Amino acid sequence: MSIDRVILFRLATNSLLERGVRAAPPAERLAWRAAARYVAGTTAEDAVRTAHQLHERGVASSIDQFGELVRDAAEAERVAEDYLRLAGELRVLPDDAWLSVDLSHLGLDVDTGYCADKLSAVAEKLPPGRRVQVGAEDYDRADAVLECVLTAAGNGLADRIGATVQANLRRSERDLDRLVDAGVHVRLVKGAYVEPADRALPYGEPTDIAFTRLAHRLAEADASFALATHDGVLREALLAALGPRPVEQLLGVRPATLDDLVARGVPVRVYVPFGDDWFRYWMRRLAESRGS
């Protein structure tokens, strides 16, 4: 793993750096100019507009309101209300628009049971045929995230829930099997977090092999899943082997790829984040570009 990637990831989670940059208007404007390609905007209206633009190109979307690491119950409740409102607003969006959420934004660190209840409530409010995709978080939260997803699926909402499996984590094969057994849609990623060697494979060939094996495992199980990677060589090898499986990308990352995939009949979905808390997300995109 490259040293600059580790440094960038640590900076991405450094609250002092974020506060320093955002307290200085010239620095914040400079950071925003660099980050804007990856972010729909600061409001839900910005995300809705982006979702419509993508739909016109034949591309689906998953809308996410920035936020994570909420430890205050009142704040978690406000976030849940925001997501319930977003779930209702999907009715006026194209039918390929989904939601996405990080459970630590929805109160995972407040109480796992509370978070599972709120995830279920959001899923229940979705229009038919939509999903709320649960994002990847760090290894220490993996058990709690999995518990919340499986609880919501067990509430009869498996067809409205999506989970993210990080191929680099050594536990992922076991987690994937449980998600498939529960009927949950799987978004397969390489993994964005810097984790110790006993928990995660190194980036490069070991993670690529794990990604390939997990993709074949999903296909053999006839599971609902998407290949969420910007690694063109890996993606094309799997599309050639498995057929036109859904592909997911991040807004602003290699956008020219979208039209090529659509033209070839490959279903494509783009993660569309919005909100004021964009700084850490941008820094993580920089970190990923140095090694994932």
Question: Where in the chain are the domains?
Answer: 40-274
pLDDT given at position 99: 98
Residue 118 has pLDDT above 50, yes or no: yes
Q: Using DSSP, how many helices (H) and how many strands (E) does the chain show? A: 12, 8
**Pairwise pLDDT comparison (199 vs 11), residue with the higher score:** 199
Residue 290 has pLDDT above 50, yes or no: no
pLDDT given at position 116: 98
- The SS3 call for residue 265 is coil
Residue 84 has pLDDT above 70, yes or no: yes
| Closest to 72 (Cα-Cα) out of 35, 100, 43, 109 | 109
What are the tokens at 19?
Answer: 């506060």
Tell me which of 15-24, 42-51, 190-199 is least confident.
15-24
pLDDT given at position 33: 81
Extended beta strands in the chain, E state: 60-65, 97-101, 132-134, 161-166, 185-189, 225-228, 247-250, 268-274
Q: Where are the alpha helices (DSSP H) in 36-72?
A: 44-56
Residue 5 has pLDDT above 90, yes or no: no
What's the rounded Cα separation, in Å, for the pair 289 and 239?
A: 23
Which pLDDT band holds residue 211 (cuts at 50, 70, 90)?
Answer: very high
182 touches 158 (CB < 8 A): yes
pLDDT given at position 292: 41
Which pLDDT band holds residue 283 (cuts at 50, 70, 90)?
Answer: confident
Give me the CATH topology for the region 40-274: TIM Barrel (3.20.20)
